[in-house]
Structure 1
């Protein structure tokens, strides 16, 4: 029987899956999506014409300092593209360069240093600006804001809390618990402590039937994270969406919720597809590097089939973990 060869992202390369032609039901992938012709200009225009807030330049005027939160190395955010316009706007608005902090939202991941830091932001930014890692295990580095009405202990990075202007950047993509990444996730879990995440990433939240990929409405993780991030404070966000080749296809800046929702609405046109019938086997992948680090990020490959009732009897996930020990900061008892 003739076999069909399907190449799947695997580490920094690909892995081939050979399926008998008669056994292949459907290939699900991101729909074809052209990148922005002038991506830098798109970022600049997004800062000038945000959704739900004044322009960043206006927000930055009169502020004594600023923190710009970025995702860590496990997320393919085009920082070298989006950071320069943000940083330039802040300086032009009167915030001195030495008063601008780029804070890496590691959440529960390890710090990004050395070559990883250069890969993350580029050599020029790494040399000219303060770039520091959040540390979720350093309790003294957090401000204790008490326990929320949902029972979440709120301990947030002191550098974020004390900043006069708070900017979140990030990538919008489907997410197992949050529905979609980006937006509020820059703060929670990005710059919160391990104590906070023991609850927000704990069993009671994860097992909730509405804590699922691709859903925001009625999703308890999303709603709690959004409310708490608003309580903590976020002045401006810059979120992006990418095509399968990880080229910039959209920039959504402004209000924490409104800009994020606009990005999700655009993304769903290209990443949502219909499942016509149950199948016996699903083969998925996490999208390759950098989603191969840490190992937990590789689970992205089975999020959609895992949450689709009666979709498959068996799941297969080709995965290569460069740092297998980067599994979790939780102990076995948590």
Structure 2
């Protein structure tokens, strides 16, 4: 059976033996908004748990709008124009509006990427800047959270009188869901803050998982940091499989985000009767599978439907290779997962270890095979996962390993789908 996977910009068609196919786990049938521009404008005027954005803006002389970098497919060209008009019409001068790209610890944006994220017109008319987590002079220390996380936040965000975030809500491998508070507490945070939030102390907690914010310690930390930094207004959206807007959630950062989370949870949940021997998944294609670093999210998202001791096959293009030089050095320095696990519990947190910590969760559950045309040959044998030339090759190896009754589940859009087992297997 031919199944289309999200892989790079163009996708990848793969053949899966139909007799072994236990299920294709896809989004529910979300309906795109017929008039998204109207919904966006209305959400700014009639927000959830907040005064209208225009009223908030009349009390401020400057504003900072935080947006995602190229790794998130946020429809900023639809979301920002009505917001910017509202701010200016309410008395905030254009030269007092900063658009801050929430890079977290990702690399800086290129000029071409800023054009893709915002459009040339917006880039030329407004002050657009990247966050630089590793530049201490650009952060201010606000204190510590209850769990002793040092809170460093971008000064340009803190100095603005009106603080706004624009993002989208999807399942997140550790924080439960993206959007809202994460834009501030990770996207605009300093290196020490991000490192602490991605340390084994936090990530080893089983409650830090995809699809859950109840009693999730990372979610709680993000909420506390967001409140410490100040967060006046949020504009989040939900997207369908084709990245059309299906919902708009604007207003109070906690209340609006909570409404959006529940809507997204309902729309992206997919269930399998019991865990499968083999799970074929992706990292949702471009832009999330630009690097192996980002693509690891596809691994952990699939774990709820993978049988213990099974095989996880991740198809991710990784056109930019493993990731940054620092991450590449980290990813290729350990011969085994055990060596890495011992190292992270004996050394200070390294900024590039956290995705490998997530990879470790997958390796503990089963064999991981990565199909990635962009990973350089000299790196393939140095990862503590196995690589294959094609999904079909990896599936054939799995069938040989598990036998003719092997069950295979496929998750075409990887981490954008919240997968669950509908019952506990025997």
Output the TM-score relative to the length of structure 1.
0.96
| Counterpart Cα distance in 1 of 2:122 and 2:309 | 46
Paired with 1:308 and 1:34, the residues of 2 have a C-alpha distance of: 26
Mark the structure with the bigger radius of gyration: 2
Partner in structure 2 of residue 280 of structure 1: 277
CA distance in 2, matches of 1:307, 1:226: 26
1:252 to 233, 239, 249: 249
Q: Is the 8 A contact 2:293 2:322 kept in 1?
A: no
Q: Is the 1:180–1:215 Cα contact (8 Å) retained in structure 2?
A: yes
What is the deviation of 1:80? 0.2
Post-superposition shift, 1:149? 2.1
Please list the CA deviations of residues 286-327 of structure 1 after superposition, one character each: whole Å capped at 9, or x if unmatched: 111111134222123222322457466110001111222524
Structure 2 match to 1:154: 151
Q: Which runs of 5+ in 2 are unaligned?
A: 331-346, 351-426
Displacement of 1:264: 1.0
More off after superposition, 56-65 vs 299-308:
299-308
Distance 1:60 1:197 in 2: 30
What pairs with 1:309-328 in structure 2 (closer than 5 Å)?
A: 310=307, 313-327=310-324
Would you say 1:205 and 2:202 are equivalent positions? Answer: yes
The whole-number CA distance in structure 2 between the counterparts of 1:18 and 1:58 is 55
In the TM superposition, what is the alpha-carbon distance from 1:222 to its structure 2 partner? 0.4
Kindly indicate whether the alpha-carbon contact (under 8 Å) linking 1:178 and 1:215 is maintained by their aligned counterparts in 2: yes
Report the Cα distance in structure 1 between the residues aligned to 2:182 and 2:159, rounded to whole angstroms: 19
Divergent runs of 4+, >4 A = 327-333
- Structure 1 distance, partners of 2:22, 2:290, is 30
Of 218, 233, 238, the residue aligned with 1:241 is 238
1:294–1:321 Cα contact (<8 Å) kept: yes
Q: What secondary structure sits across from 1:54 in the alignment? A: coil
Q: Report the counterpart of residue 129 of structure 1 in structure 2.
A: 126
Q: Displacement, 1:151?
A: 1.3
Over the residues paired in the alignment, what is the CA RMSD in angstroms? 1.5
SS in 2 for 1:274: strand
1:290-309 equivalences in 2 (<5 Å) = 290-308=287-305
Shift of 1:15: 1.0
State which of 109, 113, 116 in structure 2 corresponds to 1:116: 113
Q: 1:151 to 1:91 in 2, by over 3 A?
A: same
CA deviation string 1:219-239 (max 9, x = no partner): 110011112211211000000
Instruction: Please list, as runs of the form range in 1=range in 2, the aligned pairs for 1:1-334 lying within 5 A after superposition.
Output: 4-308=1-305, 310=307, 313-327=310-324, 332=330, 334=350
Alpha-carbon displacement from aligned partner over 1:1-57 (angstroms, at most 9, x marks no partner): xxx000101100111221111100000011122211111111000000100110000
Distance in 2 between residues matched to 1:64 and 1:183, nearest whole Å? 23
> How has the CA–CA distance of structure 1 residues 268 and 160 changed in structure 2, closer, same or farther, with 3 Å as cutoff?
same
What whole-Å deviation, never above 9, does each CA across 1:104-143 have from its counterpart, x for those lacking one? Answer: 0000001112111101101110111111000010011000
Give me the whole-angstrom Cα distance separating, in 2, the residues matched to 1:282 and 1:312.
12
SS in 2 for 1:13: coil
Secondary structure in 1 aligned to 2:243?
A: coil
Q: Of Structure 1 and Structure 2, which has the larger fraction of its residues in helix?
A: 2
Q: How many residues align?
A: 331
Structure 1: gaps (5+ residues): none
Alignment partners' CA distance in 2, 1:202 and 1:196: 10
Task: List per-residue Cα deviations over 1:212-259 (Å, max 9, x = no partner).
Answer: 000010111001111221121100000000000000111100111110
Question: In 1, distance between residues paired with 2:113 and 2:17?
Answer: 41
Q: Give yes or no for contact 2:104–2:131 (8 Å, CA) kept in 1.
A: yes
Superposed CA offset, 1:59-110 (max 9, x none): 0003110000000000000000000011000000000000000000000001
**TM-score, length basis structure 2:** 0.75
